[in-house]
Every structure is written in structure tokens, then in C-alpha cells.
Structure 1
Amino acid sequence: METLSIIIPVYNEEETINIFYETLNKVEFNQSIGLELWFIDDGSKDHSLMELKKLSEKDSRVHYVSFSRNFGKEAALFAGLERASGDYVAVMDVDLQDPPELLPKMLDEIKENDYDSVATMRKDRDGESKIRSFFARKFYKWMNKITSLKLVDGARDFRIMTRQMTDSVLKMRENKRFSKGLFNWVGFDTHYLAYENRERVAGKTSWSFWGLMKYAIEGFISFSTAPLTLVTSVGAFSFVLSLIGAVVVIVRAIFFPHTSTFGWPSLVVIILFFSGIQLLSLGIVGRYIAEIYMEVKDRPIYLVKEEK
């Protein structure tokens, strides 16, 4: 019998855990497929861990890992991937925005068409704020332009992977993780299934707008050096402008000594402009140095408090 391991990150989701479990139990899988559930409690402050312990006691297929604190969804996904032992590995959210009823179809797609992964994407962004949708679309657009990745707009983390692809993702142990990029970077043949966007079944999302912005920046830094190239280009352009300006000043002083010069307001504007460029450049370079700093520390991606 083949096994499907399902990884479910959890953070303050006491209201959704049992709803998810009951919904998953109603899904009709092929009899030749066994299930293994890994709930990863990412340092929840509510009673999520208590609910997971109850499920684990009544169902031997249910396992849980509880972190010592909140390490983030990426760390939770990695912890689940490390523990999943199935022939196929799925990652999905507990809030039912990722429909469990799609799992059998996704498995069939992998087996029948010899895919390495079947992932999901939203057909639309109904229910999402316009500002958030706008920035999300721009993120995918620019990621595809400045990196070698080809991310699908609306793609979810919800996917099923073969054992080979899962092992390949596990080989990348960087501290600052961006799973959408990692799943894409390893290659392998991935097929996307589209479905209608769904709202959370209960509770509130832990992802704020600024949290998503920070996550997007991590993606850019992890998979592209384009910002550094931009800084270099701006520096070169500024240098050329300064040379032209120097020539103009010298020629003007020699041939037009009596002409008026720019006043101090113009000088202040110029100073502020180039100072701003310098600070922006230092910030971008510093962001990359900070990433290097965090990686060379070689701290663990997560710490486990208890596990079953």
C-alpha cells in the first residue's frame, strides 16, 4: 500500500483543526492509499496543541510537532517535509482554503500522467482586498521578470509531490526559506489545477499585509541579485552625470566667467537626491549582507518542544 503524507502547518487554529479533520475524513481516497497526517504547531498561543493531542489519541494516523515558539510557516513546512515518510507528500493549510476533496484528483493526475508534482492555483481573488490583490499580481510579475523562476499567478502552497521531489526540496536547508520559489527551483514536472477561491472556514488569518510584504522581499532576496544590479547601474549613471556636470562647470568658468551660478536651493536638492541614492544603495546591500549573516550563523530552522 502506498502512503500519502499530508503536512498541515498550524498557528492559533483551534477553531479550524477539528473542522479540517472531519472534512478530510469525508474524502474518498483509493483503497490502495494510506494516510499519514503531520500537524505542525508553530508555537500557537491558543489551545491548538490540546486539540492536536486529542486527535492523535483517537487516530493513529495523526502526528503532531509543537515548536518551542513561533518560527513561521516556512519552518513548519520544512519540519513536516523532514518527517513525512509517504510515497507522496502533500502540503496544505488547515483553514480549508485548500480543498481536501481535490487530493484524490491530484493523486490521480500524478499517477496517470507521470507528473512529479500537482499543484493548485486560484482562478480568481474573490474575497480579497483590491490593494492586496494588486500587490500580489505585481509580485508574481516582477518575480518572473528578475529571477529565473516562473511562478504562476495565484499559485498556492497546496500541492502533492513525489518522494523524489520531496527529497530534492529537503536538500536545500537555507534558514530564510521561500517555498514557492524552492518548489519551482528544483525543477521536476509540475501540473497546476485551478479552483475557485475559498474563504477561511473559521478564525482569522495570521498573515497581515506587512507580513506578506516582508515575505515577498524574502522571495526577491532569495532568488535574485537584480536589486544589487540596479544599485550598480544607478551608481554608474550618477558617476557619468557627475563627470558631465564637472565638464559643464569647468567650461562655464573658463568661457563664461560672468554668468550666474545656481543658488543654494538647487545645491540642497542635489545633495538630498544623491544622499538618498546612497542610503537606498546601502540599504539594499545591507539587506543581502544581513541574509548572509543569518545563514552563516547556521542556527536551526526550528526547535521542537514536543512531538508525537
Structure 2
Amino acid sequence: MLSIIVPCYNEEESIPIFFDAVEKVSAQLQHEVEYIFINDGSRDGTLNALRNLYQACPQKVRYLSFSRNFGKEAGLYAGLKEARGDLITVMDVDLQDPPELLPQMIQLLAEDPELDCIGTRRGDRAGEPPIRSFFARMFYRLVNKIGETEMVDGARDFRLMTRQMVDAILELTEYNRFSKGIFSWVGFNTKYLSYENRERVAGSTSWSFWSLLSYSIDGIVNFSEVPLNFASYIGAFSCMGSVIAMLVIFFKTIIKGDPTNGWPSLVCIILFVGGLQLLCLGIIGKYIGKIFLETKKRPVYLVKETEKDQKL
């Protein structure tokens, strides 16, 4: 069986288009297919669209509806937990992940028993705002330099995984999840397919520049301790600099016999050092916040409704 996990947030228009497109491709596969849609607290008619889809095709369609918006990471985790297939794939409902790649991905996985995952990556970022593309490239360069887990530039969540790999991912029950990093951290042999970037078939994206920036910061914090080391280095250099400055002022006063003037420069230095302290406290606070959320042991998501609640 092939399990297709599809997180949805305000995707009422895209759901039927996605289902029809994947069904055309699934007819070429020699696998039974199950769809697992995750309604992540949508505010439009997404849930009704999933109900209607289940009523029309109850043999293939399953869905979970969260009690509120928990984020895409929670949706991916819920889908992986619910998947029953020997092969599992994750796809975006907006069809930016090409369904026609599925037969090739399955074939590649079948031809090489050493492979555990066929991933996909965008070969270009055509149609994406230049500033978003720039920061995305900078993120991958930075996280690969300071982190212990390699992340492929342009890699998508769209990938075909074996049951063994998914079981390994599910062993990571952490609350703060960053799937791109988790997919790499668990290891397993992965081969990537490149494809040209595609636009959404319907609706609009819920990812703004600032939400993507926040998401990338979470990825860095989750998979690197370098920011903490950076805060320590700043503190050490500030202390050494202040000691050197005090010695210079002391000997200048002893030798020349005049006091050091310039309170404006002193105020600037105080503000600069204060800013460094706040920066370091912010970095440390980010890690403490992650620890705080982990120690609460709250569930990653809460389910309000599933297809089992529907009467055919």
C-alpha cells in the first residue's frame, strides 16, 4: 500500500483538483493507495471538502481534523502516525509537488534495495520573490555550516519513504519539530530528484516572509548549538575589550595626568554593550523556551474529527 499524506490549511479549492490529479497518476501504479488528509484548523470550507471527498470515495480517503491550527509540522507528524502503507509519501495539496513523479520514485526505490527514501528538490526558484529566494539560499548555507545535520538546498517535504524510515521518524516524539532536519537526522539512504518550480493551482499561500523566517530560526535552533556558543564568544570578547579599555584609560591618566573626556562616546559604548547583552539573552531565551515547551509534555496536536465520525 502507498500512503499519501496531505496537510491542508485553508485549501478548499485545491483539494478536489489535487485528488483528481493524483488519481490519474495512481492508475499507473501497482499499489493500493490511501489518502490521509490533515485539516490543520482551517477557517474556510476545507473540512466540508474533505467530508464530501470521503463520502464520494470512502475506500481510499481518510482525514483528521485538528481542534485548532497546530502548524504543518504537527500535520506531518499526525499523517505519519496514521499511515498504514509500506511506502509513505508527503505531498502539498496545492500541486507544487508533481504527482507524475510518483511512478519514477517508486521505480527507483524498487530498483535499488539500498535506498530508503526518494526525495525531491526544486532545481530553480522561478516565480518566487527574489528576497525570499536569497534568504532561503542563505539559510541552507548557514545551517549546513553550523549544524551537524546536512540539509539539501531546495529540498521539499515531498518524498517517498519506506516503512522502516517512517518508523524511525516516529521514534522522535519531540514537541518542537522541524521535519526537513528530522528527515536528514534519522539517516537512511536518500536519492534526490530535481524538478522545475511550479505555481499553486488554486488559493494563496499561508506562508509569509516573516513566518518563513521564524520557521528557519526554529530549524537552526533545533539542530545547532552554535548560536549558544556565539553568545558565549560575544560575552568573552566584550569582557576582554572592557578590561583593555580600562587599562588604557588608567595608564593614560597616570602618564599624562589628565582625566579621560567624552561622555557621549561612553554612552554609545554602554548602549552597544547593552545591545550585545540583550542579543545574547535573546539567543539563550530561545533555547530555554524550547526546553520549556518540551518539559510540558503537551501533545503535538489534538484531533476533533476523523472520517470515522461520518456516516455513509
1:106 aligns with 2:105: yes
Change (3 A) 1:73 1:31: closer
Change (3 A) 1:140 1:105: same
Q: Give SS of 1:172's match.
A: coil
Provide the rounded CA distance (Å) in 2 between the counterparts of 1:31 and 1:236.
Answer: 60
**Could you tell me which amino acid in structure 2 is paired with residue 88 of structure 1?**
L
Contact 2:5 2:35 in 1 (8 A): yes
Provide the rounded CA distance (Å) in 2 between the counterparts of 1:48 and 1:253.
Answer: 74
Deviation at 1:253, TM superposition (A): 2.2
**Could you tell me which amino acid in structure 2 is paired with residue 23 of structure 1?**
A
**Could you tell me which amino acid in structure 2 is paired with residue 207 of structure 1?**
W
Aligned residues: 305
**Could you tell me which amino acid in structure 1 is paired with residue 254 of structure 2?**
I
Provide the rounded CA distance (Å) in 2 between the counterparts of 1:28 and 1:61.
Answer: 11
Deviation at 1:28, TM superposition (A): 4.5
Deviation at 1:29, TM superposition (A): 5.0
Indicate the percent of aligned positions where both proteins have the same amino acid. Answer: 56
Provide the rounded CA distance (Å) in 1 between the counterparts of 2:306 and 2:26.
Answer: 28
Match of 1:46 among 22, 32, 44: 44
Deviation at 1:261, TM superposition (A): 1.5
Which residue number corresponds to residue 180 of structure 1? 180
1:307 aligns with 2:300: no
Which residue number corresponds to residue 267 of structure 1? 266
Provide the rounded CA distance (Å) in 1 between the counterparts of 2:6 and 2:226.
Answer: 34
Provide the rounded CA distance (Å) in 1 between the counterparts of 2:185 and 2:241.
Answer: 39
Deviation at 1:252, TM superposition (A): 1.6
**Could you tell me which amino acid in structure 2 is paired with residue 14 of structure 1?**
E
Contact 1:29 1:104 in 2 (8 A): no
1:21 aligns with 2:22: no
**Could you tell me which amino acid in structure 1 is paired with residue 40 of structure 2?**
D
Change (3 A) 1:280 1:304: same
Provide the rounded CA distance (Å) in 2 between the counterparts of 1:6 and 1:160.
Answer: 9
Provide the rounded CA distance (Å) in 2 between the counterparts of 1:78 and 1:225.
Answer: 24
Deviation at 1:137, TM superposition (A): 0.4
**Structure 2: any 5+ residue segments left out of the alignment?**
308-312
Which residue number corresponds to residue 310 of structure 2? none
Deviation at 1:95, TM superposition (A): 0.2
Deviation at 1:256, TM superposition (A): 1.6
TM alignment of 1:59-98, pairs within 5 A: 59=57, 60-98=59-97
**TM-score, scaled relative to structure 1:** 0.97
Provide the rounded CA distance (Å) in 1 between the counterparts of 2:255 and 2:63.
Answer: 81
Which residue number corresponds to residue 281 of structure 1? 280
Which residue number corresponds to residue 146 of structure 1? 146
Greater mean deviation of Cα atoms: 29-38 or 129-138: 29-38
Provide the rounded CA distance (Å) in 1 between the counterparts of 2:214 and 2:25.
Answer: 36
Q: Give SS of 1:53's match.
A: helix
1:57 aligns with 2:55: yes
Change (3 A) 1:209 1:151: same
Provide the rounded CA distance (Å) in 1 between the counterparts of 2:240 and 2:179.
Answer: 41
Contact 1:178 1:219 in 2 (8 A): yes
Contact 2:119 2:191 in 1 (8 A): yes
| C-alpha RMSD of the superposition | 1.0
Deviation at 1:24, TM superposition (A): 0.7
Q: Give SS of 1:39's match.
A: strand
Provide the rounded CA distance (Å) in 2 between the counterparts of 1:51 and 1:44.
Answer: 11
Provide the rounded CA distance (Å) in 1 between the counterparts of 2:81 and 2:214.
Answer: 25
TM alignment of 1:166-245, pairs within 5 A: 166-245=166-245
Provide the rounded CA distance (Å) in 2 between the counterparts of 1:239 and 1:263.
Answer: 21
Contact 2:253 2:260 in 1 (8 A): no
1:35 aligns with 2:50: no
**TM-score, scaled relative to structure 2:** 0.96
**Could you tell me which amino acid in structure 1 is paired with residue 41 of structure 2?**
G
Provide the rounded CA distance (Å) in 2 between the counterparts of 1:266 and 1:74.
Answer: 48
Q: Give SS of 1:249's match.
A: helix
Provide the rounded CA distance (Å) in 1 between the counterparts of 2:143 and 2:27.
Answer: 36
Provide the rounded CA distance (Å) in 2 between the counterparts of 1:161 and 1:223.
Answer: 22
Provide the rounded CA distance (Å) in 2 between the counterparts of 1:250 and 1:198.
Answer: 65
**Could you tell me which amino acid in structure 2 is paired with residue 280 of structure 1?**
L
